[in-house]
């Protein structure tokens, strides 16, 4: 038996945490032990892990001793408080929240895009926002081949991005409307059933939402290229699972739609479904549970000299959160980076 490897899932009772456990099991992640953590509210409850169940433990500052990797998906506040304690105990954190993404001490990683950024980690590695991840898996090969100047993206984001409560709201409101009851709005400011909301996360001073600015800022950090400009409109749609994105790209050099299809069909993590004559294009309802990011509707933007339009779809809870984090953990193992060089970097 090789060296012991203990992995913690923090936020194990949530929508992302459950998918995290499923992903670790599906991919036979080589952990000798997996521990599940959540708040005191759910301590003692059970979560599924393969054919067995794990008993949820309460997250406390001192639980990280002896844990090698902790994958967090318990919100930014929990990550802010507990991730430094984990790193201080020598545990490498892969964090799904936005808390550490733009922190200079933390690599922000999509394994198909910038795995080399892991080399300089200080104990906390950030997982990007789901909408950024799927967009960059598709745009990285194009950026490498012809250079990307500018991206205009509109997202169509599923309610699972809001966690269990988002799924429940869409289901409840749909039942209400079919029963001629007024739909109750508990999670979103307006009804989401049979509606679309051009509003995800909070509004900022520049009138963009925080979700939109995450896409702009995270792209620059992951590509390590401030010359790439991104403008985003993030929209919540009444879909349970799977984010879709309409993406317009202006490139430095010309790339034809045909060249783009060939390039993307050979790129890691991508599948091209693109045959307009046969009505073939990717859709959220048909890709739930899949690991790949799908691209279709690739065509030249005839309004500019060097432009492409495309439609990018992925399972937001899988590739947008759980899978990307597990792939980061796999890459850490492959590169022998499961250690914290300086345990004090995040301690005040």
Pull the structure tokens for residue 297. Answer: 């509707």
* Nearest CA-CA partner of 247 in 151, 129, 313, 145: 151
HSE (side-chain half, CA atoms, 13 Å) at 129: 26
Pull the structure tokens for residue 181. Answer: 């009851």
Pull the structure tokens for residue 217. Answer: 């800022």
- Chain position carrying tokens 């900022």: 204
Any catalytic annotation for residue 234? no
Neighbouring-strand partners of residue 48: 53
Strands 52-58 and 92-95: unpaired
Residue closer to ligand 3JN, measured from CB, 141 or 284: 284
Pull the structure tokens for residue 101. Answer: 């993404």
The answer to the question of whether 343 is labelled as a binding residue is no
Any catalytic annotation for residue 25? no
Residue closer to ligand NAP, measured from CB, 80 or 176: 80
**Which of 8, 17, 139, 208 is close enough to bind ligand NAP by CB under 6 A?**
17
* Nearest CA-CA partner of 62 in 94, 91, 96, 21: 91
For 191-221, give the secondary structure using H, E and C. Answer: CCCCCCECCCCCECCCCCEHHHHHHHHHHHH
Secondary structure of residue 40 in the 3-state scheme: helix
* Binding flag, residue 251, ligand NAP (CB under 6 A): no
* Binding flag, residue 129, ligand NAP (CB under 6 A): yes
Of the listed pieces 106-114, 155-163, 252-260, 281-289, which binds ligand 3JN according to CB under 6 A? 155-163
Please state the closest distance from residue 254 (CB atom) to ligand 3JN, in A.
Answer: 34
The answer to the question of whether 316 is labelled as a binding residue is yes
| Pattern 224-263, ligand 3JN, x by CB under 6 A | ----------------------------------------
* Binding flag, residue 209, ligand 3JN (CB under 6 A): no
The interface with ligand NAP within residues 34-63 (CB under 6 A) comprises 38-39, 41-42, 59
HSE (side-chain half, CA atoms, 13 Å) at 204: 10
The answer to the question of whether 42 is labelled as a binding residue is yes
Residue 173 site contact among ligand 3JN, ligand NAP, none (CB < 5 to 8 Å, cut-off depends on kind): none
Please state the closest distance from residue 240 (CB atom) to ligand NAP, in A.
Answer: 13
* Binding flag, residue 200, ligand 3JN (CB under 6 A): yes
Whole-angstrom Cα distance, residue 86 to residue 68? 9
Q: Among 130, 143, 234, 260, which one carries the catalytic annotation?
A: 130
* Binding flag, residue 129, ligand 3JN (CB under 6 A): yes
Strands 52-58 and 46-49: antiparallel
* Binding flag, residue 76, ligand 3JN (CB under 6 A): yes
Q: Point out the annotated binding site for NADP(+).
A: 13-16, 41-42, 160-161, 316
Interacting residue ranges for ligand NAP, rule: CB under 6 A: 11-17, 38-39, 41-42, 59, 73-76, 78, 96-97, 127, 129-130, 161, 163-164, 320-321
């Amino acid at each position: 038996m090789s060296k012991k490897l203990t992995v913690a899932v923090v936020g194990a009772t949530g929508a992302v945490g459950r998918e995290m456990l499923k992903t670790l099991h599906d991919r036979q992640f080589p952990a000798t032990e997996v521990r599940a953590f959540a708040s005191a509210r759910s301590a003692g409850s059970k979560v599924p892990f393969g054919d067995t169940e794990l008993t949820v433990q309460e997250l406390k500052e001192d639980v990280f001793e002896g844990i090698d990797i902790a994958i967090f998906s318990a919100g930014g506040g929990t990550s802010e408080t507990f991730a430094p304690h984990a790193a201080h105990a020598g545990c490498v954190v892969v964090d799904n929240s936005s808390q550490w993404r733009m922190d200079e001490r933390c690599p922000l990683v999509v394994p198909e895009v910038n795995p080399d950024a892991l080399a300089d980690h200080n104990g906390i590695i950030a997982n990007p926002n789901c909408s950024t991840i799927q967009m960059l898996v598709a745009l990285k090969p194009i950026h490498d081949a012809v250079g990307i100047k500018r991206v205009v993206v509109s997202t169509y984001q599923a309610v699972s991005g809001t966690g269990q409560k988002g799924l429940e709201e869409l289901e409840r409101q749909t039942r209400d409307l079919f029963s001629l009851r007024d739909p109750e709005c508990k999670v979103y400011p307006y009804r989401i059933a049979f509606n679309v909301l051009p509003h995800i996360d909070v509004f900022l001073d520049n009138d963009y939402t925080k979700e939109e600015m995450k896409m702009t800022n995270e792209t620059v950090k992951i590509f390590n290229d401030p010359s790439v400009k991104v403008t985003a409109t993030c929209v919540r749609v009444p879909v349970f699972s799977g984010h879709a994105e309409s993406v317009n790209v202006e490139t430095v050099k010309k790339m034809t739609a045909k060249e783009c299809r060939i390039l993307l069909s050979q790129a890691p993590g991508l599948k091209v479904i693109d045959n307009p004559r046969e009505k073939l294009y990717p859709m959220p309802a048909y890709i739930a549970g899949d690991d790949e990011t799908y691209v279709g509707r690739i065509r030249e933007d005839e309004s500019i000299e060097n432009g492409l339009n495309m439609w990018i779809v992925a399972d937001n809870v899988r590739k947008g959160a759980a899978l990307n984090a597990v792939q980061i953990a796999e890459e850490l193992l492959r590169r022998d980076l499961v250690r914290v060089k300086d345990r004090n970097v995040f301690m005040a």
